């Protein structure tokens, strides 16, 4: 696998965090795959796994002083980059300066496009001072590449929120992969006498490093000078201003004030490490900062940080553990925090040590390179070889929702040949009834056991190890064709609202944050997203909600021909091919990787219409204690119950759907059935599975159709499984029809209003 990285900055021409990011990411990534870098400049670095080439702005642009030259020259340089041959599997751009070339590579060579956002132009309107109306060109090309990228990478969760706020992209297309640092290189290294002498650096100093731009907030640090211990020097390593005018404004503010040292030169990396290491405090006064790699650099050098609580800084600096977070544009807050750490050296040392540990655990470039390669693999796995389906009308929906034409045609040919159909879904193998002791009956747990398990589950929740997965891909055709999740259950509350309120209550009880991963479909995505945004996610923090969508298949007639819907119901042509899409869409969307990156370890899975399947501390504790990769909630079977149940197939206990049992096997003897509520070890889902396909017949309009579906429960064929029998009246409230809802409305209201 090979990637072409495109960016403005690359060594030796690095001016900001994006250039630092690319330098280290390309180095680490080249240890596990092939990397080519195309950048601005005159670099020529040959290599087998890492090569780099710089591209100069065409002479006719370099010579002119036209005010639009920076923007136009950027586009011209991007065109130059695309004149060379291209043989990579992925193109990956960094900042708007590289967006045009990335868009061209995707269009011309039909490769997946990844765009990392280190900042966003709509949040930097002051750049009009630098580019004039050329700023509107930079915002346009950034918009174009984000709309068309196969994956947009935000360097922080807040950056992801900003992308979703300003650009019309699906949430699952936006991944979060943090910036990083090389902890072997960036470590505490006391400042040398030579460096101190060269620049006139005192023994006691606080440090700022960054470009002199409005977003970095340098003027607030300058204004705070009068309120900071006068015996402490303020050292500013600031070079690479967006405009000379802004730099001159800062120089005028410093003029005549004592205690400032401005280093107007790009230093060597080892010199910056020394500066960070011997600073008493590092200050980051930014008013906008998508990530802020400078804070990582300081923490790696064991220096306590005072930083503004904006953007991605809040994901790096842990308040009162690795530093102090303050409001932006507040000189007094800067001074108060700095003075506190200058006076309390024990706390400052503790913050510095904790900062170093955090860098080693969460922000090494080796870890970030692995995450990046994994994202590439997800994208390439999703680009299945297309097969022409001649009688299927072209439709952008198919591409948008990952239509696998090759698999579809194979299944279709099997249907035509009689190898698939309603009578062909029996699971092969030797069947046997489960042993009496195969299941753990929760109702029989002793009180002391319940208390112990609940404590185990609650502590794991509080530690951020649990997430909640909700399957929301269905249309409520029996309820008038609405999105099932937003159908009213009682008192104006929908299924989805009640599920999210349950999550919020469980999180509050456990003093935890419970991320929610919602799988939609082509039919539910848009309306569900609008509904959640309109209601502010019903108490779940927006940054804790991951939305992704399952795939799409066309419906067929029983004879294998493509189903043609009524002209007034064109949406009936397609469907989501079963809840078994969950494990595939979860990985391919990047939602699983992001959940794991945040420290999540377990996922509680349920259908949106089962309002009994709430996160439960005791059941979670039981799952943890079992140590299984999958826990299944079973309920006692009553007369008339149909559906899946556990059975031994070739000696292995696994879930079997009702149509999967052989005719000569008495499934009614199995005393329990599957509620389709599971708890998974999230890491166990991070691999390829070959789930079986089933052909089912449905009534759509006036005729029958055939749908191919996969089932999530079939993961029990592959994962070590723990079986829990839950109290049916407490945990299983499925609502499939309006009649079900009417019959259960009062009970649901009573149960869910506790």
Distances (CA, A) of 26 to 16, 410, 590: 16, 40, 21
Question: What pLDDT score was predicted for residue 277?
Answer: 98
CA torsion sign for 536, 538, 543, 545 is negative
Residues 336 and 455 in one domain: no
d(CA 434, CA 651): 10
Closest CA to 415 of 553, 580, 523, 551: 553
| 428: pLDDT strictly greater than 90 | yes
Joined tokens for residue 106? 């995707």
Is the separation of the CB atoms in 138 and 127 below 8 Å?
A: yes
pLDDT, tens digit (0-9, with 9 covering 90-100), for 284-333: 999 988 788 899 999 999 999 999 999 889 889 999 999 999 999 999 99
> Which of these, 100, 190, 175, lies nearest to 141 by C-alpha position?
100
Does 214 lie in the same domain as 143? no
Q: Which percentage of the chain shows pLDDT scores above 70?
A: 96
Claim to verify: residue 390 and residue 539 sit in the same structural domain: yes
Determine the pLDDT at residue 136: 80
The pLDDT score that the predictor gives to residue 570 is 83
210 inside domain = yes
Q: Tell me the CB-side half-sphere exposure of residue 148, using CA atoms within 13 A.
A: 21
pLDDT in tens, 122-151: 777 766 666 667 778 888 999 999 999 999
| Residue 417 clears pLDDT 70, i.e. is over it | yes
Residue 378 lies in a domain: no
pLDDT of 373 reads 94
Scored b (16 or more CB within 10 A) or e, 694-731 reads bbeeeebeeeebbbbbbbbbbbbbbbebbbbbbebeeb
On whether residue 107 sits in a domain, the answer given is yes
The reply to whether 186 falls in a domain is no
488: Cβ contacts below 8 Å, ≥ 6 apart: 494
Q: Is residue 483 located within the same domain as residue 347?
A: no
Polymer length of the chain? 754
Q: Please state at what angle helix 447-462 crosses helix 617-626, rounded to 10 degrees.
A: 90
CATH of the domain at 624: 3.90.550.10
Last residue of a domain, one of 141, 176, 211: 176
pLDDT tens sequence across 738-750 = 888 888 888 888 8
Q: Tokens 């504790």 map to which residue?
A: 621
Using the 3D structure, point to which of 328, 363, 398 is the last residue of a domain. 363
The reply to whether 274 falls in a domain is yes
Q: How confident is the model at residue 539 (pLDDT cuts 50, 70, 90)?
A: confident
More confidently predicted of 72 and 4: 4
Residues 70, 210 within the same domain:
no
Q: Is residue 481 over pLDDT 80?
A: no
Whether residue 315 is found in the same domain as residue 443: no
Interior angle at CA 60, CA 58 and CA 65, nearest 5? 115
What whole-number percentage of the chain has pLDDT above 90? 68
pLDDT value of residue 65 = 62
What is the pLDDT, as a whole number, of residue 130?
63
Do 584 and 686 meet the contact criterion of CB atoms below 8 Å apart? no
C-alpha 50 chain-centroid distance: 27
Tokens 């950056």 — which residue? 159
Distance of CA 366 to the CA centre of its chain: 19
Q: Find the domain containing 304 and state its range.
A: 193-363
Question: Who contacts 405 (Cβ-Cβ below 8 Å, separation ≥6)?
Answer: 384, 386, 387, 388, 389, 398
pLDDT at 131: 63
CATH (domain of 48): 3.40.50.2000
Give the tens place of pLDDT for each residue, 235-289.
999 998 878 888 999 999 999 899 999 999 999 999 999 999 999 999 999 998 8
Distances in Å between the Cα of 505 and the Cα atoms of 183, 463, 499, 513, 601 are 40, 16, 10, 10, 20
Q: Is the pLDDT of residue 489 over 60?
A: yes
Q: pLDDT tier at 160 (50, 70, 90 boundaries)? A: confident
Q: Report phi then psi at 730, rounded to 5.
A: -100, -30
- Would you place residue 440 in the very low, low, confident or very high pLDDT band (cuts 50, 70, 90)? very high
- Last residue of one domain, picked from the residues 176, 208, 236: 176
pLDDT band of 161, cuts 50, 70, 90:
confident
- Tell me, what's the pLDDT at 250? 95
If one counts the domains in the chain, the total is: 3
Do 148 and 237 share a domain, yes or no?
no
Cα–Cα distance for residue pair 668/647, rounded to 1 Å: 11
pLDDT per residue as tens digits for the range 559-581? 999 998 888 888 889 999 999 99
Chain centroid, CA 529 distance in Å:
16
Give the SS3 label for residue 483.
Answer: strand
Is there a contact between 5 and 92 (Cβ–Cβ < 8 Å)?
A: yes
For residue 17, the model assigns a pLDDT of: 77
b/e string for 384-415 if b means 16 or more Cβ within 10 A?
A: eeeeebeeeeeeeebeebbbbbebbeebbebb
Same domain, 471 and 608: yes
Q: How far, CA to CA in Å, does 374 sit from each of 111, 120, 146, 381, 603?
A: 16, 25, 20, 10, 20
| Per-residue pLDDT band at 724 (split at 50, 70, 90) | very high
Closest CA to 246 of 226, 222, 276: 222
For residue 521, which phi and psi values (nearest 5 degrees)?
A: -135, 180
Contact 597, 728 (CB under 8 A): no
Judge residue 499's burial from the number of C-beta atoms within 10 Å of its C-beta, 0-12 exposed, 13-18 middle, 19 or more buried.
buried
Which of 53-62, 274-283, 587-596 holds the top average pLDDT?
A: 274-283
Distances (CA, A) of 85 to 38, 375, 622, 739: 12, 24, 57, 63
37: nearest Cα among 86, 13, 3: 3
- 375 in a structural domain: no
- Asked whether residue 325 is domain-assigned, the answer is yes
Q: Kindly state whether residues 452 and 545 are assigned to the same domain.
A: yes
Do 312 and 413 lie in one domain? The reply is no
Helices (H), 535-612: 581-588, 591-597
pTM for the structure as a whole: 0.72
pLDDT number for residue 646: 97
Average pLDDT along the chain? 91
Do both 445 and 311 map to the same domain? no
Residue 371 falls within a domain, yes or no?
no
Q: What is the pLDDT of residue 742?
A: 85
Q: How confident is the model at residue 727 (pLDDT cuts 50, 70, 90)?
A: very high
pLDDT at 64 over 70: no
Question: Does one domain contain both 593 and 631?
Answer: yes
Note the pLDDT of residue 385.
57
């Amino acid at each position: 696998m090979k990637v072409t990285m495109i960016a403005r900055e690359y060594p030796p021409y690095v001016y900001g965090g994006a250039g630092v990011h690319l330098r280290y990411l390309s180095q680490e990534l080249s240890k596990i795959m092939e990397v080519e870098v195309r950048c601005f400049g005159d670099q020529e670095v040959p290599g087998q796994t890492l090569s780099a080439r710089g591209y100069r702005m065409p002479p006719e642009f370099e010579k002119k002083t036209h005010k639009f030259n920076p923007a136009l020259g950027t586009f011209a340089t991007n065109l130059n980059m695309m004149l060379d041959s291209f043989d990579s599997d992925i193109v990956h751009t960094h900042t708007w300066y590289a967006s045009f070339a990335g868009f061209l590579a995707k269009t011309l060579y039909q490769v997946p496009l990844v765009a990392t956002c280190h900042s966003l132009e709509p949040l930097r309107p002051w750049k009009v001072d630098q580019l004039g109306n050329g700023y509107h060109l930079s915002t346009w090309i950034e918009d174009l590449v984000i709309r068309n990228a196969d994956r947009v990478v935000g360097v922080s969760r807040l950056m992801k929120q900003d992308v979703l706020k300003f650009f019309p992209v699906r949430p699952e297309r936006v991944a979060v992969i943090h910036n990083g640092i090389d902890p072997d290189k960036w470590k505490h290294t006391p400042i040398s006498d030579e460096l101190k002498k060269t620049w006139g650096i005192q023994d006691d100093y606080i440090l700022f490093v960054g470009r002199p731009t409005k977003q970095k907030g340098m003027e607030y640090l300058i204004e705070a000078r009068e309120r900071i211990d006068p015996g402490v020097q303020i050292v500013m390593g600031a070079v690479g201003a967006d405009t000379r005018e802004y730099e001159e404004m800062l120089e005028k503010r410093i003029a005549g004030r004592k205690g400032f040292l401005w280093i107007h030169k790009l230093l060597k990396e080892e010199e910056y490490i020394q500066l960070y290491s011997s600073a008493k405090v590092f200050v980051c006064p930014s008013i906008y900062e998508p990530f802020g790699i400078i804070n990582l650099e300081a923490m790696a050098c064991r220096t306590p940080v005072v930083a503004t609580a904006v953007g991605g800084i809040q994901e790096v600096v842990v308040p009162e553990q690795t530093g102090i977070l303050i409001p932006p544009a507040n000189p007094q807050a800067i001074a108060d925090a700095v003075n506190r750490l200058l006076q309390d050296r024990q706390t400052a040392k503790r913050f510095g040590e904790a900062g170093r540990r955090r860098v080693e655990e969460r922000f090494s470039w080796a870890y970030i390179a692995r995450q990046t390669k994994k994202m590439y693999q997800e994208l390439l796995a999703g680009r299945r070889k297309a097969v022409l389906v001649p009688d299927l009308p072209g439709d952008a929906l198919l591409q948008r929702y990952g239509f696998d034409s090759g698999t579809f045609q194979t299944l279709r040919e099997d249907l035509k040949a009689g190898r698939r159909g309603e009578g062909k879904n029996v699971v092969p193998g030797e069947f046997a009834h489960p042993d009496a002791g195969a299941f753990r009956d929760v109702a029989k747990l002793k009180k002391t056991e319940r208390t112990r398990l609940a404590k185990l589950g609650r502590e794991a929740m509080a530690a951020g190890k649990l997430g909640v997965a909700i399957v929301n891909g269905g249309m409520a055709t029996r309820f008038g064709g609405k999105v099932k999740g937003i159908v009213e259950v009682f008192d104006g509350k929908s299924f989805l609202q009640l599920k999210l309120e349950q999550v919020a209550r469980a999180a509050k009880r456990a003093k935890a944050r419970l991320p929610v991963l919602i799988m939609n479909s082509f039919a539910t995505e848009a309306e569900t997203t609008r509904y959640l945004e309109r209601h502010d996610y019903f108490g779940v923090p927006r940054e804790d909600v991951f939305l992704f969508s399952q795939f799409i298949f066309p419906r067929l007639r029983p004879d294998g021909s493509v189903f043609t819907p009524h002209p007034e119901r064109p949406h009936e042509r397609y469907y989501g091919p079963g809840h078994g899409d969950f494990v595939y869409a979860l990985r391919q969307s990047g939602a699983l990787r992001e959940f794991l990156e945040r420290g999540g370890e377990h996922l509680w899975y349920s259908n949106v219409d089962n309002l009994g399947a709430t996160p439960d501390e005791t059941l979670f504790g039981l799952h943890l204690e079992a140590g299984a990769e999958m826990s299944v909630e079973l309920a006692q079977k009553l007369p008339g119950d149909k559906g899946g149940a556990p059975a031994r197939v070739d000696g292995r206990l696994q879930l079997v759907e009702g149509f999967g049992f052989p005719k000569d096997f008495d499934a009614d003897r199995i005393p329990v059935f599957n509620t389709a509520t599971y708890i998974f070890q999230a890491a166990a889902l991070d691999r390829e599975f070959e789930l079986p396909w089933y052909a089912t017949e449905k009534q759509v309009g006036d005729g029958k159709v055939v749908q191919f579906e996969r089932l999530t429960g079939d993961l029990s064929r592959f994962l070590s499984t723990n079986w829990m029998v839950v109290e049916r009246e407490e945990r299983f409230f499925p609502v499939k029809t309006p009649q079900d809802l009417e019959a259960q409305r009062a009970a649901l209201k009573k149960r869910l209003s506790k």
